[in-house]
Chain A
Amino acid sequence: AMEGGPRAGPRICEGDCAVLKRDDVFKAVPVLRRRKIIFEKQWFYLDNAIGHIYGTTFEVTSGGNLQPKQEVEETTTETKEAGTDNRNIVDDGKSQKLTHDDIKALKDKGIKGQEIVQQLIENSTTFRDKTEFAQDKYIKKKKKKYEAVITIVKPSTRILSTMYYAREPGKINHLRYDTLAQMLTLGNIRAGNKMIVMETCAGLVLGAVMERMGGYGSIIQMYPGGGPVRAATSCFGFPKCFFDHLHEFPLSKVDSLLSGTFSTESLPSEPEGNALVEEESNRLTDEKQTSLQEIEEESTTEAAMEINQTEEQETMDVNAEDAEFKENKEKENKENVREKQRKQWERRKKLIETAALLREKNADGLIVASKFHPTPLLLSLLEFVAPSRPFVVYCQYKEPLLECYTKLRERGGVINLKLSETWLRNYQVLPDRSHPKLTMSGGGGYLLSGITVVPDKGKSDSSNLEALKMEEPSSKRRKVQDLHC
């Protein structure tokens, strides 16, 4: 079962969505030529990175070029001199002999960050008196500031969920990455499932589900408003085939589907329909581009202008259509109409297909992570899920889940309801200096999970054993056993 020798990993290609990494800071960017990127107070172009293997670390040189970082042997071999404590170290603000201007001059000369750090050390009068640990800390701090290195990595749920939680928690309802990890496990997300996903987390949860399903099975995304948001989804850089079995269904049609009054005749038609078609086709054909731009928040003004321009273009296109009618461009007009009808027809066809998938009421799970109140979503969407399947609801707040729990118990058809939260603690591990990190996240949201069962025909047996047992204080099922160390 052995495979051949060293193989090169995936390479950075133009048009990819890559993630820039510096220490613990991530940023997703599209790989484009001659496009200025600003990341962690540095600007550069990605041109030179194209063709290198993902995971390569680059140095930013003058002129914003990237150069693969050479492995350098640390120059700390000289005899170390260090103090034992700080009893004689006085903060007079004069320990650094280099002035602000000196440092700026060094930088302007294009001196490498590594050398600047070395000069700072040599010009620090207190460095030699610092303890070994303090020296270490000093160097690390300066390196972070002056050594301009970035690593380009391939996107994954790990990286994107960490990035979103750190950069834009508001866009993902403060869903912390360990909470997302819980959802994927509790929901038994895997290849071959037929999943229902309802999220307003910029498409991050959808992307995470898609990654775990690897293109096998199907996903029905329920969306509020005019269409699903998939800005984060497109950062994953999934192959096209992953979208073949990704369906979408408007939330506003759920009630009619459940009551049997759903028909495509009741579809929002022109002009709203047209706008939707436009929106959708943009999303499908130009998915990568548009959403990459969406996440490009820190982009340069040029880039921002680019976005505005394209947006303007699009709206102009839509507006121009009216004008075009009047301008008597008969031929073009006919084609336009035909194209529009074709798109409308395709959209209708897809919607009918998705409705049929839902009507089978045999989904393998339900994942909800939205800004909406979870109770009505659960009470309706669970109807589409087969018995003996897991469901997981995320909410930023605990209280709506308390209500949801109560309402689900009243509804029946669910067991093993569990309201939970995870805490995440990061550690600094260094010889003789190990401890939990100073700060930890205060909140990453709450989960309500459970398993569907075949509902009772008559809701008569309210005195059922299960209900009684549910109210029993849960036993200390998992006793903390002796650890095997």
Chain B
Amino acid sequence: MSFIEYGDTIKDGDTAVVFLGHESMFPVKVQHGTVTQTKYGVIRHSTDLIGNKYGSKVTCSKGGWVFILHPTPELWTMNLPHRTQILYSTDISIITMMLELKPGSIVCESGTGSGSLSHALIRTVAPTGHLYTVEFHQQRAEKAREEFREHGVEHLVTVTNQDVCKNGFGVSNIADAVFLDIPSPWEAIGHAKSALKAEGGRICSFSPCIEQVQRTCLAMEEHGFTEINTLEILLRVYNVRTISLQIPDLGKAAEDNSSTGFDSSNPSTRGSPCAELQRGTVQFKSGMPLREMVGHTGYLTFATKS
């Protein structure tokens, strides 16, 4: 296993994802002799995990079962220990495409935070690219280094513990892309420009507030960035449900009981094994939006150095 290469079987030292059910999962470090508690009982790593196939069903001690999944940056994002507010896959996807990242890209990032975006960036630029990530919080920087080591991607990333606004990225004229997720990105635009290759590159800044965006856009313009573009991406998730709507009783049934009325003439209900049919309902499948959705994560401002 590795975050940058698929493997078929679960091995000692792997990070695997225990899938308990819809959006209920957690990461686990696979170790000989270790046990993991779930609400369905105990998982014994030596017998239940090691040597088994990724994607297989594991029966826990109480008879319930879980699936063991191969780690991906997306699963990691959903399950990682939060040290900061993190970026989710919806924002990450558009960042990756708009920064034009691909194998071989050199990327600068700050701050590292909880490493949610970092893992996705490393996945995309591997095996020949590199991520230079800067985090001013010493403990977070250390923790990120540890995770990259554990996940077998340390050779693709350099974590620097410094203030990007004061000291920049620690590299110059090397990056194809720069990403900023810091409270005052406008103070780092100059450093971003010098980190980017002389021939040019792309930049992205993530900010929750429009005032931050305005200052950032001004700074980008002052530093000669072009194609400055601010956007926002929202994810709408739908639950798939079978819905029954009752046919209102307009008195027709009372008048004419022999006819089945609306039901039999409606093709969408014909043949449906619905017990409600007699009482007059129509069934259909619907994609229902969640009652509550994330309405705002942050504005993404992109620009080009040319």
Contacts and interface: CB of A to CB of B under 8 A. Distances in A.
B193 to A, nearest CB: 13
Contacts, number: 242
A265 interface: no
B19 A182 contact: no
Given A178-B94, A181-B96, A420-B238, 6 more contacts: A10-B199, A190-B124, A388-B54, A401-B287, A415-B19, A473-B291
A165 to B, nearest CB: 12
B28 to A, nearest CB: 14
A420 B240 CA distance: 11
Interface in B274-290: 285-287, 290
A190 B40 CA distance: 34
11 contacts: A185-B120, A190-B123, A192-B127, A427-B213, A427-B232, A429-B301, A469-B20, A474-B23, A477-B23, A483-B85, A484-B208
Nearest to B286: A402
B127 A465 contact: no
Given A7-B198, A431-B218, A156 B100 contact: yes
A387 B103 contact: no
B254 to A, nearest CB: 36
B136 interface: no
Main SS class of interface, B: mixed
B294 A480 contact: yes
Given A191-B126, A429-B301, A158 B56 contact: no
Given A2-B172, A465-B64, A483-B209, A427 B54 contact: no
A418 B237 contact: yes
Nearest to A185: B93
A411 B173 CA distance: 52
Nearest to B300: A427
Contact of B236 (A386, A416, A422, A451): A422
A469 B24 contact: yes
Given A388-B70, A416-B22, A465-B21, A425 B234 contact: yes
Contact of A192 (B5, B84, B90, B306): B5
Interface residue range, chain A: 35 or more
Interface in A140-158: 156-158
Contact of A387 (B22, B54, B102, B239): B54
Contact of B238 (A1, A216, A398): A398
A185 B90 CA distance: 8
Contacts of B68: 388
A158 B230 contact: no
Contact of A193 (B6, B8, B120, B237): B6
User: Which one of A215, A389, A427 has the greatest number of beta carbons of chain B within 10 Å?
Assistant: A427
A425 B127 CA distance: 33
A444 to B, nearest CB: 10
Interface of A: 1-10, 53, 55, 156-158, 161, 177-178, 180-182, 184-186, 188, 190-193, 211-216, 362, 364, 386-390, 398-399, 401-403, 405-406, 415-427, 429, 431, 434, 451-454, 456, 464-466, 469-470, 472-478, 480-481, 483-485
Contacts of A216: 103, 127
A472 B22 contact: yes
Sorted nearest first, the 9 A-B pairs with minimum C-beta distance are: A387-B55, A214-B103, A9-B199, A388-B55, A6-B198, A469-B21, A185-B93, A388-B54, A181-B97
Contacts of A186: 74, 89, 93
Nearest to B299: A427
B213 A429 contact: yes
A109 to B, nearest CB: 30
B151 interface: no
